[in-house]
Amino acid sequence: MANLNQRLLRLWHGGDYNPEQWPRDVWTEDVSMMLDTEYHVATLGVFSWVKLEPREGEFDFEWLDDIIARLSASDRYFILSTPSAAPPAWMSKKYPEIIRTGADRVRRLHGNRVNYNFSSPIYQEKCRIMATKLAERYGNHPNLLAWHVSNEYGGADYSAESATAFREWLKIKFNHDLAALNEAYWTAFWSHSFTDWSEIDPPGGPYGETAVQGLTVDWRRFTTDQTVAFMEIEAAPLRAISPHVPITTNMMGTYPELNYRKFAPYLDFISWDSYPAFTGPMTEARTWIAAAFRHDLMRGLKRGTPWLLMEYSPGSSNWYESMALKRPGVHRFEGWQAVAHGADGVQYFQWRQSRGSQEQFHGAVVSHGSSRTARVYQEVRQLGHELAEWPEVIGSVPKPEVALIFDWESWWALEAACGPTQRPKRYPETATDYYGYFWQSGIPTDVIGMDDSLDDYKIVVAPMAYSLRPGFAERIEAFVAAGGHVVLTYLSGWTDENSLVFTEGFLGPLQTVLGITSEEIDVLPKEATVPVFYNNEQYAAHDFCELIHPTTAETVAEYAGEFYAGRAAVTQNTFGNGTATYVAFRHDDRFLRDLLDPIVRRAEIVHPFPGELPDGVTVQVREGEEATYFFLLNANPHGATLSTNDGEVIHLPPYGVEIRKLAVAGAMDE
């Protein structure tokens, strides 16, 4: 059974701590309040570069030694970050080339954060030196739980160094064959063919190329790979000097610019920062379904292993459109929700509200005034004490029978495509809609990528799988032939991995398993709908109506309007021992439920709770060696009631959470 770190066998509770912003008498109060709140894990060093190296080559670790000694003396642990997310001003002034160049090809000035040029050899070397110093000094500290490499990697860099690295990346991808690149990018169009590698510039931005989709997607692939390579410059010395200390970096869920799946092999555990939008819809279950989707997306980067919620806000985040307060109970719900989805700890940004600068009004455990009776402090304290009661949960993991495919590269290709609409295409939202059906049904779900194995599942859903990577269609075929049930939707299989439409037309290599071909798509005006009939009920298609032709598939729903009235809107193909369903139109949640319910029954998915769960209530499951844990979560601002298999009625208060434990060989107890 995997653990985040054997040194602390409990659910972790803690978060970002920036003692360098405060005089040392405040540190004394901090440690005392950490004891009071069961705050065991302080994340140190994020953004500490200028304190660690105030002048080039002059290092000062005294303050960090001091706070680590104080924390350790009080039986607190720490995660140590490398400070590379924000270089100090002296470095930017001396070496301006370390600063980021934007998509407008203009180099920025010093300031802000994640404003560095990850391709700069100077910055890379400075980061390598700093990581080495930290590893040498703290790598063997018994209270060090993990390395937190940098902070929230993000964005692209358009400097000359990055452009050169991109050309080298392309040479490797295309095996030094420029003709192959031109073919893959279809550059004969508009005379965009390249005659030398040096002619290729990073695409995009206000002045760059936007008309070559393959190039656009490759630039994003390169940016991911270059970011991973940069991370490795810091991670390599940490790993070499302290091989027993796990390495992680904090990710950002559905952050659109990086393919996080590429980071996972270099990390010992996954961690991420969750900030659901509280601009009003905090009271809507949809907010919590979206949060759950992201938890499972992040968990899916390293399936079957525990992950860490590295940051969430104890209060309101100051960068929201408006700072709605978290309602009483929401904080507890949010923390346990992460645990329900496999987190072995929940951490915050941040411990103490800063008096000044950008995040002075961001929620923190200790608010301005340092009151121990403050509402936020008390809610954190309560959660800390509750988490302390469930150490046995660590190491148990969700083992879903359903997988949803969410693929960054396909998303990029879809966004890069000029058409079939200029309106938002809503890829993550559509994935969340499909995910939401399973959440509401209390069916745990893995969120995986197009390259992942499908072996463990009974149902696989892949909404809007626009651009297919080699091998994906073959894996779907094998999965269905072996008895699996797959559901695909409109806008699937339009292109290969280079954004080239398949020579056999839309759906390409998926045509056989689906038993259909796809000819055209009708994109409806914004508010327009087309009726669809399914099982004698009427539904409405909006946004997209794809026009498909069954070959071997059966039509299970039909359009009932437009010139395509009477044609297939949903098909189902029996293929080997399984079925492949194609949903050709965009629909609402009612249709989704009516479509998926029978598929779930056919697949014999095991429900932990019988019957329908109340709206906004879910059950998530973690399986351990000795027990299975059921997390009952009420995402509503009002109470809810549900029944167990043996007829027991359970009342959940607003945002209520209850944990039920079933011993592996026994009956459910409380």
Position 334 contacts ligand GLA (CB under 6 A): no
Task: Tell me the residue nearest to ligand GLA as measured from the CB.
Answer: 273
The C-alpha atoms of residue 143 and residue 650 are separated, in whole angstroms, by: 41
Q: Which of 486, 306, 479, 470 is nearest to 405 (CA)?
A: 486
The C-alpha atoms of residue 199 and residue 178 are separated, in whole angstroms, by: 11
The C-alpha atoms of residue 368 and residue 19 are separated, in whole angstroms, by: 15
The single residue among 213, 271, 316, 317 that binds ligand GLA, judged by CB under 6 A, is 317
Nearest approach, Cβ of residue 309 and ligand GLA (Å): 11
Shorter beta-carbon distance to ligand GLA: residue 198 or 360 = 360
253-282 positions binding ligand GLA, by CB under 6 A: 273, 275
Q: Which of 242, 319, 332, 347 is nearest to 15 (CA)?
A: 347
Kindly write out the interface string for residues 359-388 of this chain, putting x where it contacts ligand GLA by CB under 6 A and - elsewhere: x--x--------------------------
Kindly write out the interface string for residues 172-201 of this chain, putting x where it contacts ligand GLA by CB under 6 A and - elsewhere: ------------------------------
Nearest approach, Cβ of residue 318 and ligand GLA (Å): 8
Shorter beta-carbon distance to ligand GLA: residue 272 or 582 = 272
Q: Is 311 a catalytic residue?
A: yes
Q: Report how far apart, in Å, the C-alpha atoms of 356 and of each of 22, 360, 361, 566 are.
A: 11, 5, 9, 64
Q: Which of 136, 30, 122, 27 is nearest to 80 (CA)?
A: 136
- Contact stretch for ligand GLA (CB under 6 A) within 295-303, 310-318, 502-510, 632-640: 310-318
Pairing of strands 568-575, 578-583: antiparallel
Shorter beta-carbon distance to ligand GLA: residue 39 or 438 = 39
Nearest approach, Cβ of residue 314 and ligand GLA (Å): 11
Nearest approach, Cβ of residue 567 and ligand GLA (Å): 48
Shorter beta-carbon distance to ligand GLA: residue 101 or 151 = 151
Position 152 contacts ligand GLA (CB under 6 A): yes
Q: Is 386 a catalytic residue?
A: no
Q: Which of 237, 277, 233 is nearest to 254 (CA)?
A: 277
Nearest approach, Cβ of residue 12 and ligand GLA (Å): 17
Nearest approach, Cβ of residue 234 and ligand GLA (Å): 16
Position 248 contacts ligand GLA (CB under 6 A): no
Residue 78 CB partners (closer than 8 Å, separation 6+): 41, 42, 43, 44, 68, 71, 141, 143, 144, 145
The single residue among 349, 494, 609, 655 that binds ligand GLA, judged by CB under 6 A, is 349
- Give the distance from CA 378 to its chain's centroid: 29
What residues does 529 pair with on adjacent strands?
A: 542
Nearest approach, Cβ of residue 25 and ligand GLA (Å): 25
Dihedral Cα 235, 240, 245, 247, nearest 10 deg: 20
Shorter beta-carbon distance to ligand GLA: residue 363 or 463 = 363
Residue 8 CB partners (closer than 8 Å, separation 6+): 40, 41, 77, 145
Nearest approach, Cβ of residue 380 and ligand GLA (Å): 16
The C-alpha atoms of residue 415 and residue 405 are separated, in whole angstroms, by: 17
Tokens 């539904």, residue located: 539
Token representation of residue 545: 């109506």
Active-site hit among 38, 53, 234, 311: 311
Size of the site for ligand GLA (CB under 6 A): 10
Token representation of residue 29: 């109060």
What residues does 659 pair with on adjacent strands?
A: 631
- Contact stretch for ligand GLA (CB under 6 A) within 52-60, 311-319, 404-412, 600-608: 311-319
Position 407 contacts ligand GLA (CB under 6 A): no
- Give the distance from CA 396 to its chain's centroid: 20
Nearest approach, Cβ of residue 276 and ligand GLA (Å): 11
Residue 604 CB partners (closer than 8 Å, separation 6+): 458
What is the torsional sign of CA 172, 173, 177, 179?
negative
Separate counts of helices (H) and strands (E) for the chain:
16, 28
Nearest approach, Cβ of residue 171 and ligand GLA (Å): 35
Shorter beta-carbon distance to ligand GLA: residue 207 or 319 = 319
Is 144 strand, coil or helix? strand
Is-contact 248 147, C-beta < 8 A? yes
Active-site hit among 152, 234, 334, 379: 152
For the chain, how many residues are written?
A: 670
Is-contact 665 429, C-beta < 8 A? no
Nearest approach, Cβ of residue 250 and ligand GLA (Å): 6
Position 151 contacts ligand GLA (CB under 6 A): yes
The C-alpha atoms of residue 197 and residue 230 are separated, in whole angstroms, by: 24
- Contact stretch for ligand GLA (CB under 6 A) within 136-144, 309-317, 495-503, 547-555: 309-317
Helices (H), 393-503: 408-416, 427-440, 472-481
Nearest approach, Cβ of residue 313 and ligand GLA (Å): 6
Position 352 contacts ligand GLA (CB under 6 A): no
Shorter beta-carbon distance to ligand GLA: residue 161 or 311 = 311
Is-contact 123 98, C-beta < 8 A? yes
The C-alpha atoms of residue 187 and residue 180 are separated, in whole angstroms, by: 11
The C-alpha atoms of residue 514 and residue 509 are separated, in whole angstroms, by: 10
The burial class, CB within 10 Å (0-12 / 13-18 / 19+), for 503 is: exposed
Residue burial 457-470, b: 16+ Cβ < 10 Å; e: rest: bbbbbbbbbbbbbe
Q: Report how far apart, in Å, the C-alpha atoms of 552 and of each of 463, 506, 515, 565 are.
A: 22, 17, 5, 20
Position 311 contacts ligand GLA (CB under 6 A): yes
Shorter beta-carbon distance to ligand GLA: residue 231 or 461 = 231
**Phi/psi of residue 72, each to 5°?**
-65, -40
Binding site for ligand GLA (CB under 6 A): 151-152, 273, 275, 311, 313, 317, 349, 359, 362
> Known catalytic residues?
152, 311
